[in-house]
Amino acid sequence: MKLRFGIICFSLLATFFAQAQDQKSILLINGFLHKGNGEVLETALIGVRAGKIEMVRNSFATSYKREEWDTIIDLYGKHIYPGFIAPNSTLGLTEIDAVRATRDFDEVGIYNPHVRSQIAFNVESKVISTVRTNGVLICQATPRGGSISGTSAVMLMDGWNWEDATVSSDDGIHVNWPSSTEGGGWWAEPSPKKRNEKYEDQKEELINFFSDAKAYCDGGKKVDLDLRFNAMRDCFKGEKRVYFHANDVQQLLDVIDFVRKFELPFPVIIGGYDSHLIADRLKEDKIPIMIGRVHSLPEYEEDPIDKPFALAAQLHDAGVKFCIQNSGDMEAMNARNLPFQAGTCIAYGLPAEEAVKSLTLNTAEIIGISKNYGSIEEGKSATLFVSDGDALDMRSNNVSLVLINGKFMSLDNSQKQLYEKYHNKYQKK
């Protein structure tokens, strides 16, 4: 009985301290604010209370009472950004690519819409802390493999467990559209790509699966539970997105027709290498693009070497909503380089604040979390960071403060610890 009473008291005490920490008020003054929605405020005053942004004002035009704030931080000369978002990433689902036991993103099977990445997310990952120190504070943990990989989840780069870190538990399913070509590639002997002879059959198989799933979800009669079809229900209702991984023109055109056929309310294309060639159709159908890794080689021999660098500016000029993602080799740890990919896009024609937007509000809108995240505006979550300089430039990105839901985050990580260890040992020699 005494033990039970002690446990209850301890739980209540822990809850009290946790709530007390959440209720702390923080005032950030004089920083250069990049709101994330395309706007800037050169001398910003940002009030944070109970984990939310209470006010965003001009420091010079707004007076405040010091006694009303627990913590006041002067950020003169520093830059403030909303937390960057890493979409379509295995961050939190893998630790060491070369060790199979640490990879938890690819399930057995071809059609797995019912497989959920949320419960596989590892908040104890050492990779997460290295990514957080470059300003990436949210990720879309995404499964891989098969024709339908599974359902992704939007997660914070902090939490006691995966439940605590969850922003959106099941934001959408991921469809790997069949490749319309095969062969070629910079890694092989120079040879042109050729048409995939099985493309039409593979596409028809995908159409049949969606048709069966829609019939199951629309059926009025009680039927045996099918986990795969049941997981598709919210996609047809518009409560889940459908992410199509596709790149070449044929794939993109077929995806558009597919979306129209099944009347999918929230489609998204991931990759979109040739999306600039059909920008008008994408804009007309309001289909956003998560563009592929900016720091990559062209897909075709005849393409200009800077094609991946210029795609963001081309889509922006055409009025197509887009964000930047980083899928590919070593994508989890390379998520920390996401800001610098956006910086490269600036050098190739994308306006600077649109580049910030491609990591913040655009991404939040595309994955459905913009109500609370993606920009520094009143009423939204205080998930933001401060950099000594331009966060999109590797020469000046130096994150000195991070808040996630109004809570201060440690900027320590295993890489910094190793640096300090060997620096302290050898600096005197």
d(CA 82, CA 362): 12
Total of domains in the chain? 1
d(CA 26, CA 292): 37
What distance separates the 2 farthest-apart alpha carbons in the chain? 79
Q: Is position 36 within any domain?
A: no
Give the tens place of pLDDT for each residue, 370-380.
Answer: 999 999 999 99
d(CA 134, CA 383): 14
Tokens of 227: 């986990």
Evaluate whether 53 touches 9 at the Cβ level (below 8 Å): no
d(CA 125, CA 136): 14
pLDDT of residue 19: 42
Give the tens place of pLDDT for each residue, 130-186.
Answer: 999 999 999 999 999 899 999 999 999 999 999 999 999 999 999 999 988 877 665
Residue for token digits 């966060």?
A: 391
d(CA 123, CA 296): 29
Tokens of 78: 């520093």
Sign of the dihedral defined by the CA atoms of residues 121, 338, 252, 154, in that order: positive
Is the whole-model pTM more than 0.75? Answer: yes
Give the tens place of pLDDT for each residue, 250-268.
Answer: 999 999 999 999 999 999 9
How are the residues of the chain apportioned to helix, strand and coil, as percentages rounded to the nearest 5? 35, 25, 40
Q: Between these two residues, 410 and 324, which has the higher pLDDT value?
A: 324
Q: Is position 50 within any domain?
A: no
pLDDT of residue 190: 60
User: Mean per-residue pLDDT for 275-296?
Assistant: 95
Q: DSSP class of residue 321?
A: -
Residue for token digits 């071809």?
A: 110
d(CA 47, CA 324): 29
Q: Is position 242 within any domain?
A: yes
* Parent domain of 136: 81-408
* pLDDT confidence band for 189 (50 / 70 / 90): low
* Angle of helix 249-262 versus helix 199-218 axis, rounded to 10: 20
SS3 179: coil
Q: Is position 168 within any domain?
A: yes
Q: To which H or E segment does residue 28 belong?
A: strand 25-34
Q: 31 exposed, middle or buried (CB, 10 Å; 0-12, 13-18, 19+)?
A: buried
Q: DSSP class of residue 83?
A: P
406 pLDDT more than 50: yes
Tokens of 340: 């610098």
One DSSP character per residue, 379-401 reads: TSB--EEEESS-TTSTTT--EEE
Evaluate whether 136 touches 336 at the Cβ level (below 8 Å): yes
Question: What is the average pLDDT score of the chain?
Answer: 89
Residue for token digits 């209720």?
A: 23
Here the CATH number for the domain that contains residue 96 is 3.20.20.140
400 pLDDT more than 60: yes
User: Could you tell me what percent of the chain has a pLDDT over 70?
Assistant: 91
Give the tens place of pLDDT for each residue, 64-111.
Answer: 888 889 999 999 999 999 999 999 999 988 887 767 667 777 788 899
Q: Is position 419 within any domain?
A: no
d(CA 71, CA 205): 59
